[in-house]
Each structure stands twice: as C-alpha cells, then as structure tokens.
Structure 1
Amino acid sequence: PNGSRDIGFSCTRRVIAFLLSHGIQTAAYDPGKVLTTSGSQVKNADLLPKEDFDLAIVLGGDGTMIQCVHYLLGAEVPIIGINLGTLGYMTEIESHELESSLSEILAGRFKVEQRMMLEAVIKSDKEPDLEQHFYAVNDFVIHRDLSDGLLTVQSYIDREFLAEFRADGLIVSSPCGSTAYNFSAGGPILNPVADNIILTPLASHAMLDRSVVLRGSDELSFYIGSFTRGDKAAFSADGSQTVYVGAGTWIYIKKSKYVFQMAKVGKRSFYEIVQKKIRP
C-alpha cells in the first residue's frame, strides 16, 4: 500500500479483514505499521518467496503499481490495483467498490492482461566488458542534463541506422506507458496490450521530430555521441532508477522477456479511462 494515499491504512485493513474472513492466507509488504495494525494472522511479504503469491493487490496509484511490478519481477504474479488517488490507467477499482470487486476476484470472475515490458542494456566504449541492465513497465528516457546543451544521439533499429537526433532527449515507451510521459511529449496513445515500441524525441532539432511506432520484435540501439555543453546525459527507467552516461555510450532497448500481468475485473475499459483523462 501507499501510506501517503491510504491514510491510517484504513483501506488496507479493509482488504485484509475481507480476505481473512474468507479464509484467504494474507501477506503484506510492510511500509511501517501495516503488520502491527492488522494482527498476527498477516505474514510479512518480504519474508516469503514471491512465487508463492497467487495475486498481488496494490492500494495507491499507477506509481505504486509500477513499484509492485518491479518488486515481483519474474515471479509471474497477477497484480490488481485499488485506486486511492486521481483516476489511474492501471488502478481500476475505486475504494467504494473494494468488497464487491474482491468478491468477484475470489469467485474467479476476472481476467489477466499480459502487458509488455521493456529491458535495456547500457555499455560504454571505455568499459566494454561492463553491462548495466534495467527493466521498465512504462518507459526509458534519455535526457540531457538540465545545465547542459543538446545531446547528439545516433539511433538504429535492428542495427540499421534510423536518424541522428540533436535533442533534449528521447523517450522509448511500451504501449502501457504510451499514456504517461510519451503522451505528454506529443506521442501516440496505444492500447496497453499492443505489441509495439514507441520512440518519441524531446524537442528535437532533427528532421525526424515526431514519434515512430515500431514492432515489438524490433531492437533499438542508441549511441550517445556528443554534447554542445557538458559531458553527460541522464538515463532513467520508469522515472525512478537513474544513471548518468557520457559520450561513447551504447544503449540497447528491446521487448523484455518479463511481462506485467495485470488482473482486471472489467469495471472500466481502457478507452473509457482515456476519455475521462482527456476530457476538459
């Protein structure tokens, strides 16, 4: 749960009480006081094999959902979200629907969407034997340092040259992330279960200044060339994990072998949520 959204963990305790009353073994990730306020019947999720979970219930917003996906990476556990913030794209259940939705889930009346994730490998010409690996639900972003000038990035698709960007940066988005930073930067919205990768430049000075929608099987390569000022760029995964890379760095991005298994009880369609988001 997101403790800043679930004040006093009131919704978390409602979920736990409902599950325990139906004889469901329950564990919680402990952000401080969840376990001490929920009784000894609740186990600490950190102490259990992640593969033992049948379902993860997230209380918060889309950011909390993404954190949970990373936490359970590789465990193939379906995740469902209870929205405690503004209208979310991933958290479809509202707090007033909590018990009715959990009843649907326990009755098996839900579906699981397989949403594509991305993975990235970073290599440097200076240290060719060193690799850094990252995974993303929404997107990877390559961005100039705010105090520096434009960065120059050569881009390739399946080793074939696409374009040289002189820009503030680039966004590489999954379909699930198309409604996040990609959309704010003018990129297209895709259905979250599509099999595509989106490349969106940020304030590009190149002729190619629009998004490119690629196949999910395509592999993107980026070579960090030079900077008009400064000597580094920021690389981030889902807006949280950030590393700094210099000139002479290769970044390889492709569809990940891992997927985000999103459980849904069919309360709202993706397009209904989009309409509510973009409505004035």
Structure 2
Amino acid sequence: MTQPQPGAPAGAADEDRPAPRRVLLAVHTGRADIVGLARSAAARLAEAGIVVRLLEDEAEAMAVPGAEVCPFGPDAAHGVEVVLVFGGDGTFLRAAEMARSTDAAITGVNLGRVGFLAETEPEAVEEMIAAVQRCEYAVEERLTLEATVLDAEGRPTGEGTWALNEVSVEKVERSRVLDVVLEVDGHPLTSFGCDGILCATPTGSTAYAFSAGGPVVWPDVEALLLVPTNAHALFARPLVTSPTSVLTIAVPPDGTRARVSADGRRVVDVPDGGRVEVRRSERPVRIARMNPTAFGDRLVAKFGLPVRGFRDARSHGPGHEAPTGRTNVLTGDVNTSDGALRTPEEVGGGHPDGKA
C-alpha cells in the first residue's frame, strides 16, 4: 500500500490506495444454523481485510459488526467482487437478481435440499472462504433468457423479464386448459392443450424442466430447452434448440388467462390472444467455481445415481438382486441389500457370514 510522501498533497495516498475488496452475503435468515454459518464466514472475511456487505432485511438477524448495509436491488452488488449465498437454490436465484447487472460473481453454500446452483457443501465452507481470500476461483458465464410479452396485435407490452433457470408460460386458472401454438424461429411447430410451457437454460435443466421430464444438459452446453408440462397431445416431447433460436408461445383469444413466471420469482401477465418470445439474453450470470468437481460427479452425488453395473453386485437369487443404488462416488462403496456399506471387493466376494 502506498504511503504518503513528504510534501504530497492531502489525499494523495488515498488516490493510490487500491479499493478494498467487497463481498456481499445473501443469507436464508429463517434458519439459525444458516445464520451462524454465515456469521462465521463474515468474521473470517473481515479478519482478512475484506469488506462485508449485508442486505437491509437480513442485517438485523446477521448482526455483523462493521458490515455495510444496503437495500435489496440491482445496486446491492455494485462494487462487489463476489456474492456469497448461504441457503438453497431459491436464495441463489435471489442473489442472481442483484449480481446480474454487475461484474460480481456468485457462489454459494448448499443449505437447501438438492441445490445444484450452490455447489459448496457446509463442511467445505472454510475452504470456500480461503479460496475467496486468495482469489483462487474460476468464473463461468451462464446463459440466461430474455422474455418479451406481445399483445394480440404483435406489439410489445413493455413488460418483459429474464431468467437464469427457466421462463414458464402457464395457465392462471387451475380448472382451465391452456391452448398454445409453438413456433421456433418464426416457423409454426405444433399446438396442443397443456398446463404450460417451459423454456429453460442448461443451468435450469436440473430444476423445473427436469421435473417436467426434460433432459439434463451440461451447463457449459449452449442451447435452449422447450419442455411442455402436462400436454394433452401425442407429440409433446422436450426439444433442444440452438442458443440463437427464438421460441414463441402464442395463446388464443379465448379468455383463458396466462402468465409468465421467471425462475418462480418474477411474474408478468400475458394479454388475451398475446404471445411470449423467449431468446438468449445478452447478459449472462457469472458463477464463481471454487473446486474442479465435474458436473457429472455432482449429478451422481445429488441424485444418488448407481455408477456400478448391476452385474457387479452379487445376485441374491431370482427377484432378489442386490441393489447398487445410493453409491458413494467418493469412495466407490456400494449399499448392499442388508443395508451395509461395503467395498466393491467385499460385494464381489459374497456376504461375510457366508450367506448368498
């Protein structure tokens, strides 16, 4: 750090001094264990000389001495290097609203259930904080979507939105069926009645689109997904299109109310007879990666996928094959039918007490 020189004008040292690093915390304050973990992280960051920033609606619960406090909004992450998320994917998506309009990268501790967006597990928080302190992380740019709502005359209504996971065009009234016409790049593709249509990103392919039967797409793949939800049609398969495609969902002027839901957080009404155009947004969301874990390994760990062939487990007789699910991908151990966790060698050698 530059020290004032003899005869230097007042403030000269401040002009040469590098701006302090800042980290914004986004915390699910509804759980005491999450708040405690976030407080510990804030203390570590402050000790390293990093300025900690909190949101107004979370500052009281966090009670971090000396922290900056700001309101939730697009300016909350201004001047911030990293947004640290303590919570589940919902908290992460909230943080993305603040970080998207800045150069801040987002990373998080998964304290929800599945948590594909927040990749760090609670037991690795110390390593994550150390990586932030030493700037030892890589930044990925994740594709986002832009949704434009048009009226029955094809004029933009002025109400649009964006999404990191998915844009859902859905019916408002539970008792009605939403009739839609789908177009890709201005060419009509098909039409049917349904509950809605999901336009998803590769990042969002493990979220709502996955539950609706869509494919899992690696996040570094550039593509757009179109996934119908509960379609009453013979041809209603999920589609994967070019990242430059424009996906259009048109609704008829029959009085059935429809709306756009972006990441389950932002809602825009679709006028009667209107349509929604979904395309790749020019502004991505920046994700900070603290460890080199492959997406496939995370997929196996999150869903407990069996990664050993079914023939690798010793047969317990017809109809009683030993299950190989819930495999520990770190050790390679296998859960056998008696509930014990055994190594592949033990499974191949049979039951320790001689049973089949």
Q: Say yes or no: TM over 0.5.
A: yes
User: Residues 207 and 220 from structure 1, CA distance in 2 versus in 1: closer, same or farther, beyond 3 angstroms?
Assistant: same
Distance 1:253 1:36, change over 3 A: closer
CA contact (8 A) 2:203 2:218 kept: yes
Q: Call closer, same or farther: CA 1:129–1:188 in 2, change over 3 Å.
A: closer
Query: Cα offset for 1:218?
Result: 0.6
Q: Single out whichever of 141-150 and 78-87 deviates more from structure 2.
A: 141-150
Q: Which has the higher strand share?
A: 1
Letter in 1 for 2:276: I
2:28 alignment counterpart: 2
1:135-146 counterparts in 2 under 5 A?
135-146=162-173
Is the CA contact 2:35–2:62 (under 8 Å) kept in the aligned structure 1? no
Q: Classify 1:93/1:226 alpha carbon distance in 2 versus 1 (closer, same or farther; 3 Å).
A: same
Cα distance 1:177–1:5, how it changes in 2: closer, same or farther (>3 A)? Answer: farther
- Of 125, 135, 138, the match for 1:108: 135
1:259 is aligned to 2:284: yes
Q: 1:58 offset after TM fit, Å?
A: 0.8
CA pair 166-7 structure 1, distance change in 2 beyond 3 A: same
Q: 1:194 to 1:204 in 2, by over 3 A?
A: same
Across the aligned residues of Structure 1 and Structure 2, the Cα RMSD in angstroms comes to 2.2
Q: More deviation in 105-114 or 251-260?
A: 105-114
Task: Give me the identity figure in percent.
Answer: 25
CA change 1:145–1:46 in 2 (3 A) is closer
The one of the two structures with greater contact order (alpha-carbon pairs below 8 A, sep at least 6) is 1
Distance apart, 1:49 and its partner CA: 6.1
Give the one of 42, 52, 58 matched to 2:85: 58
Does the CA contact (< 8 Å) of 1:3 and 1:31 recur in 2?
Answer: no
- State the shift of 1:179 in Å: 0.4
Match of 1:215 among 242, 249, 258: 242
d(CA) in 2 for partners of 1:84 and 1:12?
11
Pair 1:35–1:44, CA change in 2 (3 A): farther
Equivalent positions of 1:38-53 (< 5 A) are 38-39=64-65, 41-46=66-71, 50-53=77-80
Report what 1:72 is aligned to: 99
In the TM superposition, what are the counterparts of 1:148-187 in structure 2 within 5 Å? 148-187=175-214
Give the Cα–Cα distance (whole angstroms) in 2 for the partners of residues 241 and 93 of structure 1.
Answer: 26
* SS in structure 2 of the partner of residue 93 of structure 1: coil
Deviations 1:29-58 (A, max 9, x none): 23344477111x210143966331111111
1:244 aligns to 2:269 (yes or no): yes
| Amino acid in structure 1 at the alignment position of 2:40 | R
In the alignment, residue 194 of structure 1 is paired with which amino acid?
Answer: V
Question: Is the 8 Å Cα contact of residues 184 and 247 (structure 2) preserved in structure 1?
Answer: yes
**1:231 is the counterpart of 2:256:** yes
Q: Structure 1, unaligned stretches of length 5 or more?
A: none
User: Which whole-Å deviations, capped at 9, do the CAs of 1:127-155 have from their partners, x for residues lacking one?
Assistant: 93632110101001112234333222111
Stretch of structure 1 that moved more, 18-27 or 100-109: 100-109
Q: Check 1:96–1:129 CA distance in 2 against 1; reply closer, same or farther (3 A cut).
A: closer
Letter in 1 for 2:39: R
Q: What's the CA shift for 1:60? A: 0.5
**Structure 2 CA distance for aligned equivalents of residues 112 and 9 of structure 1:** 26
Range with bigger deviation, 123-132 or 66-75: 123-132
Does residue 275 (structure 1) correspond to residue 275 (structure 2)? The answer is: no
Partner of 2:51, secondary structure, is: coil
How many residues align? The count is 277
- Provide closer, same or farther for how the CA distance between residues 49 and 92 of structure 1 changes in structure 2, counting only shifts above 3 A: closer
Per-residue CA deviation, residues 226-257 of structure 1 (Å, 9 max, x unaligned), is 55xx5212321111222332431121100011
Offset at 1:195?
Answer: 0.7
If you compute each CA radius of gyration, which structure gives the higher value, 1 or 2? Answer: 2
CA 1:22–1:211: 2 relative to 1, 3 Å = same
Give how far 1:2 is off. Answer: 0.7
- SS at the partner of 2:57? coil
Displacement after TM superposition at 1:217 (Å):
0.7
Contact 1:166–1:204, Cα closer than 8 Å, also in 2:
yes
